[in-house]
Amino acid sequence: MIHIENIHKTYVTPRGRFDALRGISLEIGKGEIFGVIGPSGAGKSTLVQCINLLEQPDQGAITIGGQVLTGLPESQLRQQRRRIGMVFQGFNLLARRTVAGNVALPLEIAGVPASEIGPRVARLLDLVGLAHLHDRYPAQISGGQKQRVGIARALANDPDVLLSDEATSALDPETTATILTLLREINRKTGVTIVMITHQMEVVRQVCDRVAVIDKGHIVESGPTARVFAAPEHDITRAMVSAVTASELTDETLATLRDRLGQARAESGQDARLWKLGLSGQDSGALLSDLSRQFDLRLSLVQARIEDIQGVAVGTLFVVAQGAAERIEAAQIAVRQKNIVLEEVNHESATA
């Protein structure tokens, strides 16, 4: 559906040149909800500007539904922009127009006959659950309701793509969740492809099927959301994932574990290690009992966090493994062969 190939964008300012995008390639399927996440300055806004054709990339191509958009003359670009509905962080509603008037605006600009506009606006407001606020003005509705108006407006011309640029960044967590649920419902009902540009991993967790992580103008990692949460590969991703999953042990727990591991080693004369396991879709209970039996290990669960991410059970488990050193090592190899991420937590240095 959306094919982004090797996009480069350099800004030239009196103070010099800055490479904001350094070869971005993405393939987004029809009907997907695809997240692009990255820290401040990563290049997200620049990428949005290139996708919605407000900026031309210096190099590379953007194709939507088979139509190459890069390099088109302005007259054709105007036409093509209607295929992309934009949702903004600041809502961008016109204060002097009612809710219905705001949603009608893109239809008026597109030259839709006046007789068709009323029924279409009514349908759109119904879709976003705002039929009852038809005649209110933006100042008379809440932030979440304003964003619903923004979404209805973005869908007015029946776009192929909804491009959401930090749409929930100005909203509280509860309102964010309702807006994300709405976007998911609209995606299911209409099949519209949604691209979510965000710096919030929580947004990705709640709604995106797949995600790409952008940093310093590069895609550093991409994949299904559940996979990225279970086994983040890049430092930036790891930091963002642990910020929303709290999947680390506290210093106190680590200190207690250090004592426990030392004690276990002294008492049994065997080895004892602390594992951090990242699971995606595997049954954690079955895994631990199989390993315990197969490798004759005593496995104790210290902390577990398992959550449903896009229908996949994703979890982080901290487990103390006790037994003969060679059996622990054999078990570690077997775990990794099951595509489970296993880190040995260096409890001594982690508490230092």
Ligand X SMILES: Nc1ncnc2c1ncn2[C@@H]1O[C@H](COP(=O)(O)OP(=O)(O)OP(=O)(O)O)[C@@H](O)[C@H]1O
Count residues near ligand X (CB under 6 A). Answer: 13
**Among residues 35, 44, 151, 249, which is the contact residue for ligand X, using CB under 6 A?**
44
Region near ligand X per CB under 6 A, out of 35-43, 98-106, 290-298, 324-332: 35-43
Which residue in this structure is represented by tokens 């001594």?
348
CB of 338 to ligand X, least distance (A): 36
Q: Which residue, 39 or 281, has its beta carbon nearer to ligand X?
A: 39
Task: Give 224-277 as a 3 state SS string.
Answer: EHHHHHHCCCCHHHHHHHHHHHCCCCCHHHHHHHHHHHHHHHHHHCCEEEEEEE
**From candidates 7, 20, 183, 228, binder to ligand X by CB under 6 A:** 20
Q: Does the protein bind ligand X through residue 90 (CB under 6 A)?
A: no
Q: Restricting to residues 145-204, which ones interact with ligand X according to CB under 6 A?
A: 199
Stretch that binds ligand X, among 10-18, 56-64, 70-78, 344-352 (CB under 6 A): 10-18
* Minimum CB distance to ligand X smaller for 24 or for 64: 24
| SS3 (DSSP) at 135 | coil
d(CA 72, CA 87): 23
Of 40 and 337, CB closest to ligand X: 40
Q: Considering only the stretches 34-42, 200-208, 291-299, 312-320, report the one whose residues sit in contact with ligand X under the rule CB under 6 A.
A: 34-42
- Going by C-alpha positions, the residue among 194, 197, 200 that lies closest to residue 171 is 200
Secondary structure tally for the chain: helices H, strands E: 13, 14
Q: Indicate the burial class of 254 (C-beta count within 10 angstroms; 0-12, 13-18, 19 or more).
A: buried
Cβ neighbors of 93 (< 8 A, separation 6 or more) are 102, 138, 146, 149, 150, 153
For ligand X, the binding residue among 43, 106, 138, 278 (CB under 6 A) is 43
Candidates 25-33, 38-46, 65-73, 238-246: pick the segment binding ligand X (CB under 6 A): 38-46
Extended strands (E) in the chain:
2-13, 16-28, 33-37, 59-64, 67-68, 84-88, 161-165, 193-198, 210-215, 218-224, 271-280, 298-309, 312-323, 341-344
Residue 106 within binding range of ligand X, rule CB under 6 A: no
* Residue 4 binds ligand X (CB under 6 A): no
Residue 18 to residue 9: CA distance in whole angstroms: 9
Nearest to ligand X of 44, 276 (CB atom)? 44
The rounded distance, in Å, linking the Cα atoms of 266 and 91 is 62
- We find the least distance from the C-beta atom of residue 197 to ligand X, in angstroms, to be 8
Of 6, 29, 30, 41, the one binding ligand X by CB under 6 A: 41
Q: Map the footprint of ligand X across residues 253-292, applying CB under 6 A.
A: none
Based on the shown chain and the rule CB under 6 A, indicate whether residue 18 belongs to the binding site for ligand X: yes
* Residues near ligand X (CB under 6 A): 11, 13, 18, 20, 38, 40-46, 199
